[in-house]
Amino acid sequence: MTFPQAVRPLTAKANIIANTRLLLNRDNDMGNNHGITKELAKVFAEVGGVSADEDINDWCNADLGSGVAISPILAAKCLKETLRTQVFIKGLYACLSEMVKVKKSINIVYAGTGPYGCLLLPLLTLFPQAPIRVWLIDIHQENIDSIEKIVRELEVEDQIAVIEKCDATKWHPSENVKFDLILSETMTALLGKEPQVAIFAHVQQFLSNDGVLVPQCIVLSAKLMPFESSKKQVQSLGDFFCLNKKTAGEIADGDFSCLQGHITLPNPLSSFDYQTISFFTDIHVFGSHQLSQHQCSLNTPVSYSGLKLEPGGLVHFHYLFNALPKFEFTFPIETMVEHIPSTEELGTIELPGVKRFWHKTRLVGEGRHDRITTEKELSLEMDMLSHFGKRYQDALYYICHFKPEFHEFERWLLSENE
């Protein structure tokens, strides 16, 4: 009688390679693949000594002057964003697969490795004979210590040229070399806080003529969002910035024109139905591999609500290039004229005081009103509103919150009587 042999547990290297292959071969799916990235995070933590489950308060970010280099523990947690990890790994694998077919040597910079180098290091094991040399850079010593252990575990030492503790926004290679691929995923939504722009602007100078930045481009766009109860459709305002090899070079040369400009609002525009502008971040990793709205934290829309927008107005934007980089926006806001209509000035509803109340309350919503006049006319306005079956506090909320045009306010007054 023969007995089945016990199955030996996978080594850390075999585990990492097996789960990386699963991410490459499976369809992009956060739910079905979450167990894979969870297992990878566990194995990387065992090898490198930095766990995604540790308390984030025990670790510190590093301020670079051009953005924040997130702490090792926060960087470790990024691996658990399944679609983010899967799409980046697929994109990099596609890029490397193309390069090994046509290049005699491939030089790569990975700027901001985090504690695991998880987007690239496992892929090196899938190209054991390829002429790949990798420069690994990170600002945190804990990440450097972890990366060194993972490189040894994966047995890819021969493919690693440098492991260096350095600020990637100031790094220079110690030898005269041009790079075929520079990878950096050091960003949040809308390119805020972290130094993705500063890193790409600096390191692009080390690319060969046909070298590739990964992500290849990061596209920012804007949309007008209607109220949920509205039957209106989302209105695209188009793309307003793209970080890629070209714009990174322009920024490095001191040309910041791509980082400022304006977005034109449509005219006509219902400033009642559209009071929110949302900004979106789409990440084109390589080729067809990309991340878009809500697929990971990097694609979380950034929204500004409660805006009384001027039809045809210009939304001005500019990028703050400082210790906390971000895009700032100035919105074209409609404001009410100070002159308040008389009580006798009528609208479609031929009842004295309606237009005066609407105008005064709009001024209240803008923080501009005459308290004495408001108090004097309060009783008359409450009586006027009760004629339509409306409560004063409801009318106040409706006008201050939704900022309706006068004809929209009249329609609201009559709504329950229609």
Sheet holding 314-320, edge to edge: 260-264, 314-320, 326-330
Q: What is the 3-state secondary structure (H, E, C) of 19-38?
A: HHHHHHHCCCCHHHHHHHHH
Half-sphere exposure of 109 (CA within 13 A, CB side): 31
Give residue 413's pLDDT band: very low, low, confident or very high (50, 70, 90): confident
pLDDT tens readout for residues 197-206: 999 999 999 9
Tokens of 380: 């008359």
Residues 6+ apart with CB under 8 A from 97: none
* CATH for 12-330 (3.40.50.2300, 3.40.630.10, 3.40.50.970, 3.40.50.150): 3.40.50.150
Give the mean pLDDT of 8-37: 92
When the pLDDT of each residue in the chain is averaged and rounded to a whole number, the result is: 89
- pLDDT of 245: 98
- pLDDT of 338: 63
pLDDT tens readout for residues 141-157: 999 999 999 999 999 99
Tell me which of 7 and 248 has the higher pLDDT: 248
Element at 181 (helix H, strand E): strand 179-183
pLDDT tens readout for residues 121-140: 999 999 999 999 999 999 99
Q: Is the model's pLDDT at 4 over the cut of 60?
A: no
Domain boundaries, the chain: 12-330, 354-417
- pLDDT of 231: 79
Give the mean pLDDT of 18-31: 95
Q: Is the model's pLDDT at 251 over the cut of 60?
A: yes
Report how far residue 389's alpha carbon sits from residue 214's, in angstroms, rounded to the nearest whole number.
61
- pLDDT of 366: 63
- pLDDT of 402: 78
Q: Is the model's pLDDT at 350 over the cut of 80?
A: no
**Largest Cα–Cα separation, the chain:** 106
- pLDDT of 380: 84
Report how far residue 20's alpha carbon sits from residue 88's, in angstroms, rounded to the nearest whole number.
11
With pLDDT > 90 as the criterion, what percentage of the chain qualifies? 64
- Torsions phi, psi for 373 (to 5 deg): -60, -40
The sign of the dihedral angle between the CA atoms of 34, 38, 43, 49 is positive
Tokens of 55: 């308390």
With pLDDT > 70 as the criterion, what percentage of the chain qualifies? 92
Report how far residue 184's alpha carbon sits from residue 171's, in angstroms, rounded to the nearest whole number.
13
Torsion angle of the four alpha carbons 394, 399, 400, 405, in this order, in degrees rounded to the nearest 10: 170
Tell me which of 62 and 292 has the higher pLDDT: 292
- pLDDT of 6: 41
Secondary structure (3-state) at 255: coil
Secondary structure (3-state) at 81: coil
- pLDDT of 373: 67
Sheet holding 132-138, edge to edge: 160-165, 132-138, 106-111, 179-183, 207-214
β pairing state of 260-264 and 274-286: unpaired
Q: Is the model's pLDDT at 225 over the cut of 90?
A: yes
DSSP assignment of 199-232, as one string? HHHHHGGGEEEEEEEESSEEEEEEEEEE-TTS-P
Report how far residue 168's alpha carbon sits from residue 116's, in angstroms, rounded to the nearest whole number.
17
User: What does each C-alpha distance from 281 to 200, 322, 327 come to in angstroms?
Assistant: 17, 20, 12
- pLDDT of 147: 98
**This prediction's pTM:** 0.81
Tokens of 2: 């023969």
- pLDDT of 272: 76
Give residue 407's pLDDT band: very low, low, confident or very high (50, 70, 90): confident
Tell me which of 20 and 410 has the higher pLDDT: 20
Q: Is the model's pLDDT at 170 over the cut of 80?
A: yes
Element at 319 (helix H, strand E): strand 314-320
Give residue 3's pLDDT band: very low, low, confident or very high (50, 70, 90): very low
Alpha helices (runs of H) in 327-388, residue ranges in sequence order: 354-365, 371-376, 378-386
Report how far residue 72's alpha carbon sits from residue 117's, in angstroms, rounded to the nearest whole number.
11
Residue positions counted in the chain: 418
User: What does each C-alpha distance from 344 to 287, 304, 393, 396 come to in angstroms?
Assistant: 66, 37, 23, 21
